[in-house]
Structures are given as C-alpha cells and as structure tokens.
Amino acid sequence: MNRKKLPGGLLTTAMGIMPHEDLDEALEISLSLDVAYWPQLPRMTYYEDMYVQSSEKHPGIIVDTENQRITLSTDRFYEEIPAYFEGLDDPHFYELSPQYSVAFDTFLQKDLSGYKCIRGQSVGPISFGLKIVDENKKPIAYNDEIRGFMFDFMAEKCNAQYRQMAAKNENALVWMDEPGLQMLFTSFTGYTADRAAEDYGAYLEKMEGPRGIHLCGNPDWSFLLSSLDLDILSMDSYTVGHVFSLYKGEIIDFLKKGGVIAWGITPTLTEELSAESLKSLADRLEETFRTVSAGGIDMDELLDRAWLAPSRCCLVNPDRTKSVNESFRILKELAVYLKEKYKLC
C-alpha cells in the first residue's frame, strides 16, 4: 500500500467526465492541469459512461448500448462466476480495455513523469450498487451476496488502474466518483449508512494507493470527513461550499491529518459561468476559506492542503464544449492569481 502524502498548494485538476468528442482536444486540456488525468468521453460511445466502464468483466452485467442501459441478471451472474475466477490467472484481467476507454491507454503513452501527481477515476461501489438494478429492478446493493462480490471487484478494478498509473508516476491516485453517497442518507434507499460505512471501510482497506472520493452533491459531510479514512475529498464548493464550511471542525481535523480537499469552484454550466468573473470566484472561494480558517487553522496550512477544480462535470450545455473549456481556462488563471496573492509560487 502506498499512501504517500499528496502534494497540495492549489494544484489544479478536474473530474474525468468531459463533453468532448475529440480525444486529442480532451487530452490536451486534461494534461494542461497540474494533476493530469485521463478523460471519460460519454458523447463518443456509451462504453465511456462511468458505470459501464467500471462494469467490464463483472459477472451478470448486461450493457444495452442501443437503449443506453446497464443492468445485472442474477441468473447470469451465477452462471458466469466460474469463468470469472478462471480469468483471474490473467495478470491484466482487471485492466480497462480500449473498448471501455478511448483515452486511458493514450494517456499512459504520454510522458507523465514531470507531474507532481497524476489521477484516474472509477465509479464508487456505493453509486454502482445503487444504480445497477437486477431483473426485478432491485439495486444490487440490496443483495448481500452480490454486494459483497461487487465491493471486492470494484477494489480490484481501482487497484489495477492505480498500478498502471503508478508505473508512469509514483505519485498517482484513483479517486471514486460517488454521486450515490448523497442518496445514501435519504430514508428510502434501503441501504443504511451504518452498513455502508462498514462496507466502505473494508473496501478502502483494499486500496493500494491514496484513497479519494469525488462527488458534486451535498451528502453527510461528517461521514466523509470523519467516518472514512480518506486522503482526498473532491467537492462542489461553488454550489455547496456555504454548507460544507459549517463542518469546519471536521474539515480542519481532516486537513491537519494530511488530507487534501479539491475545491470545485469554477462553474461549468453556461448560465452560472456567464454570471461570474475571476474576481467574483476568487472572492467566493476565499470567503469559504476564511470561514474554515476561523475554526482554528492558519490560511497557509489550509492552502497547503488544497486543490482547485471545476465545480462539476457538465454534458448539458447547448454550446457543448465552449463553456467547459472556458471554465478550465478560468480555473488555471484563478490558481495563478491565488498562488501569487498568497505567495505560493
């Protein structure tokens, strides 16, 4: 296990999902950030959907590309289990194939040695388990046997990706994209937070590299900051920073233990982006920083444990890539502005 302390100091990165249909353009953008990552491009093919990507070789999975739907057949799950275990003799069994990612192999062919850190991503097991349903439309997270297998499977997928990236840059990580964590704390999921914490703790213990979670919603932040042993938490500061900062005590404890928070600050939705400027976004973020700092952490220490990112991925803008590209441009300018202001460069 390699859980080296992640570098900080307002490094820039972003979520994997991008609206681009040109791989070279998407890679040029992702490689231009401080923490380079491989992009997921669902507009190119349904296999780029993060749930589909992470499902490769999971027994029982049915990918319906025509209707863009992914489900699990329980009968097929048990039928395919023997072949699955036979396949484990292949040391590359859990690696992403080119069919399931147009970008990953190309990303690995780049010279990634000069980055302070490089990053990959996988959908998290909670989100996968709540999203994928069986033939009875029941989420597989509710099936004790399949859920246990699925958690182990997802850990192996992340570790395989981590090992491939760590061979290119020793400061590598794979974070889990976990939109389902927000739904977890509602009353209707049928999968309790206590059980999820137990499952996730065991899952994280299997991680070979730094442990990270990204989500754009507004979950129980105490669960993420205090109940899970994470190295990095990526969140949408633009939308929910005012709520997140109320957990200043737990945020400070997380940072003082060496954790990093990736503050998603530049909006990608056209309407939001057009209403902002570099100065307004800097003011918004610094107000959040001051709120947290007032809880008992020096600004220098807070900034040392901070990354910057766009607020969230966005596939819905009518201008397709224009607003997203602009968000990335402003992100890099914002990082330079803040680094100069706080003498980090």
Query: In this predicted structure, what is the pLDDT of residue 140?
Result: 95
Query: In this predicted structure, what is the pLDDT of residue 196?
Result: 77
Sheet strands side by side (includes 35-37): 11-12, 306-310, 260-266, 232-235, 211-214, 172-177, 117-123, 35-37
Q: Kindly tell me if the per-residue pLDDT of 221 is higher than 90.
A: yes
Q: Kindly tell me if the per-residue pLDDT of 14 is higher than 90.
A: yes
Query: In this predicted structure, what is the pLDDT of residue 1?
Result: 54
Q: Kindly tell me if the per-residue pLDDT of 188 is higher than 60.
A: no
CA distance 84 to 20: 34
Please indicate whether residue 4 or residue 336 has the higher confidence score (pLDDT): 336
Tokens of 283: 């003011």
Q: Are strands 260-266 and 172-177 parallel, antiparallel or unpaired?
A: unpaired
Q: Kindly tell me if the per-residue pLDDT of 227 is higher than 70.
A: yes
Q: Kindly tell me if the per-residue pLDDT of 190 is higher than 80.
A: no
Average pLDDT, the chain: 95
% pLDDT > 70, the chain? 97
Give the CA distances from residue 206 to residues 73, 76, 96, 162, 311, in Å, rounded to whole numbers and listed in that order.
Answer: 27, 27, 19, 12, 29
Q: Kindly tell me if the per-residue pLDDT of 12 is higher than 80.
A: yes
Q: Kindly tell me if the per-residue pLDDT of 184 is higher than 90.
A: no
Residue range 135-161: mean pLDDT, rounded: 95
Domains of the chain and any CATH numbers: 11-341 (3.20.20.210)
Q: Kindly tell me if the per-residue pLDDT of 3 is higher than 80.
A: no
Residue range 152-178: mean pLDDT, rounded: 97
Q: What is the pLDDT of residues 254-305, one digit of tens each?
A: 999 999 999 999 999 999 999 999 999 999 999 999 999 999 999 999 999 9
Residue range 159-182: mean pLDDT, rounded: 95
Burial of 31 (0-12, 13-18, 19+ CB in 10 A): middle
Q: Kindly tell me if the per-residue pLDDT of 202 is higher than 80.
A: yes
Length of the chain: 345
Q: Kindly tell me if the per-residue pLDDT of 71 is higher than 90.
A: yes
Q: Kindly tell me if the per-residue pLDDT of 77 is higher than 90.
A: yes
pLDDT band at residue 35 under the 50/70/90 scheme:
very high
Query: In this predicted structure, what is the pLDDT of residue 194?
Result: 78
Query: In this predicted structure, what is the pLDDT of residue 185?
Result: 62
Query: In this predicted structure, what is the pLDDT of residue 186?
Result: 61
CA atoms within 13 A on the CB side of 58: 32
Query: In this predicted structure, what is the pLDDT of residue 2?
Result: 65
Q: Is the full-model pTM beyond 0.85?
A: yes
Lowest mean pLDDT among 114-123, 134-143, 187-196: 187-196
